[in-house]
Amino acid sequence: MTLAKTIGELKQQGYQVRSVKDELRANLLMKLRAGERIFPGIVGYDETVVPQITNAILARHNLILLGLRGQAKSRIIRQLTNLLDERIPVIAGSEVNDDPFRPVSAYGRQMIEERGDQTPIAWVERDSRFVEKLATPDVTIADIIGDVDPIKAARGGHLLGDELTIHYGLLPRANRGIFAINELPDLAGKIQVGLFNIMQEGDVQIKGYPVRLALDVMLVFSANPEDYTARGKIITPLKDRIGSEITTHYPTELQLGVEITRQEAWTKREGFDGNVNIPDFIRETVEQIAFEARDDQRIDKRSGVSQRLPITVTESVVSNAERRALLTGEDEIVPRISDIYAAVPSMTGKMELEYEGEQIGGAKIARDLLKRAAGEIFEGYFVGIDFTRAVRWFDEGNNLRLADTASAEECLALLEAVPELMENSLVPFDFNQSDAAQTVSACELVLEGLYAQNKISRNEEGGYTAATKAKKDRRGMIYDDLTETGRYS
């Protein structure tokens, strides 16, 4: 169908205008009937968050997503535009997307009075109907609602009290669309009060003008749950006006986290001629670090540990393996445990530490989390497999250091000296000893797992040696772990 260019043509085509919430609801119903995915690329929310958002839209509610950082709140909010019509008609030149049949601005009404059915129409794409604002303490009422514009008055020859001199804020400009505010509690109290009318009566009043704009807007917010309380920075009457509060969360299962990280992390390296092959146990170890961190008492639970941690760590792990491949001339990038140690700088900035954690230091805590994570993954793969002879080899005074810049062939030559290590390391996996890079990676996982069980030791340079007698004693193990993390040093 040809797009109408005037209001007259729009009438002839029988175009029916819907409110934005009715529009979202109707398009959502179509997707549900067709069995389409509502939020493509959002993993782990199919049974929790997505049904709640669906219910809120079907109920035509304004909504807020409550969650810690790195829980895909902003991505979900931005994908709501997929539920809007592909395009809608507005009065051409309108700053507030005036409905051709029911304009809210003085400009829109004036255009219809002057031109009638010949009033020109413009078509606005769905992406242009989304307005987003990050709440900061310096945001003003003028930014959100609007204010008088003396320059517009001077240029147009209008009196300051004329409605045509209004400078519209972000909220009126989002008319007939979605208006999103991230970190809602960070808005000053008086700005929160300014949202009352639009949420209850559907209109806003701009300072200094005896007019009310009857806006048609879907309001969506995000916030940290800690701030969104009576003790936080949110005004209770504003909470009362939000239709649905939806709580997001981190992945509840390791494999969901792995899937998210696999989707988001940049691992395809342009300019490198070979392949990138990340073993599953490396992906799982990286993801387990985030799970360990979220349960660690030394890390602030109110801030959380973002899903960005495993994503950026994976990227750094691949980068260290890429650097090694370039130095050694290998044609394949295969990360190892030592590459995860090299990625510690990608972990420290993702964790807000409690007082105790600050005394220990972020780098030490990151290495401790890696040790625990590797131990968990090791136990999952190698349950029932005996490494007694390998441990005895270290107890006899032998040691082993696999540098993160050493080629796979160099490492294999060193690993062959450890009795049964290579053979037993391959048992859970479907590759054989001829795959040198993956074999080395599997052996490093075993060594790190034995270290996590305090059967061998690991020094700062990445060398594996015999465990001290105190470490092998249970009480000594506990004491040793505390001194390693600095709690009793």
Task: Give the phi and the psi of residue 139 in degrees, each rounded to 5.
Answer: -70, 135
Q: How many angstroms separate the CA atoms of 170 and 117, rounded?
A: 29
CA-closest candidate to residue 278, choices 360, 366, 208, 343 = 343
Contact 443, 436 (CB under 8 A): no
Q: How far is CA 447 from CA 150, 340, 442, in A?
A: 72, 14, 9
Structure tokens at 347: 């972990």
Indicate if the pLDDT at residue 54 is higher than 60: yes
pLDDT of residue 472: 54
How long is the chain?
A: 489
Indicate if the pLDDT at residue 332 is higher than 90: yes
pLDDT of residue 273: 81
Q: How many angstroms separate the CA atoms of 425 and 286, rounded?
A: 19
Q: How many angstroms separate the CA atoms of 156 and 166, rounded?
A: 12
Q: Mutual orientation of helices 20-34 and 49-58 as an angle, nearest 10°?
A: 130
Contact 404, 341 (CB under 8 A): yes
CA-closest candidate to residue 426, choices 415, 438, 417, 414 = 438
Q: How far is CA 129 from CA 63, 123, 167, 453, in A?
A: 17, 11, 18, 56
330 against 1, higher pLDDT: 330
Per-residue pLDDT tens for 83-142? 999 999 999 999 999 999 999 888 899 999 999 999 999 999 999 999 999 998 888 888
Q: How many angstroms separate the CA atoms of 44 and 254, rounded?
A: 11
Q: How does 37-65 read in b/e, with b if 16+ C-beta sit within 10 Å?
A: ebbeebbbbeeebbebbbebbeeebbbbb
Helix (H, G, I), strand (E, B) or coil at 6: strand
Q: Please, what's the largest Cα pairwise distance for the chain?
A: 97
Q: How many angstroms separate the CA atoms of 240 and 249, rounded?
A: 23
Pairing of strands 87-91, 400-401: unpaired
- Domain map of the chain by residue range? 7-247, 254-484
pLDDT of residue 142: 82
DSSP string, 435-484: -HHHHHHHHHHHHHHHHHTTSEEE-TTSEEEEPPHHHHSHHHHHHHHHHH
Q: How many angstroms separate the CA atoms of 133 and 135, rounded?
A: 6
pLDDT of residue 162: 57
pLDDT of residue 155: 60
Task: Give the phi and the psi of residue 292 in degrees, each rounded to 5.
Answer: -65, -40
Indicate if the pLDDT at residue 205 is higher than 80: no
Percent of the chain with pLDDT over 70: 90
Confidence of residue 486 (pLDDT cuts 50, 70, 90): very low
pLDDT of residue 480: 46
Per-residue pLDDT tens for 440-463? 999 999 999 999 999 999 988 889
Structure tokens at 114: 């002057």
Structure tokens at 94: 């309108």
For the residues 362-371, what does the mean pLDDT come to? 95
Share the mean pLDDT of the chain. 88
Q: Report which residue type is found at 316.
A: S
Indicate if the pLDDT at residue 409 is higher than 60: yes
pLDDT of residue 158: 52
Q: Does domain 7-247 have CATH number 3.40.50.300?
A: yes
DSSP string, 298-367: TB-TTT---THHHHHHHHHHHHHHHHHHHHHT-SEE---HHHHHHTTHHHHTT--B-HHHHHH-HHHHHH
DSSP string, 214-247: E--EEEEEEE-TTTSSTTTT--HHHHHH-SEEEE
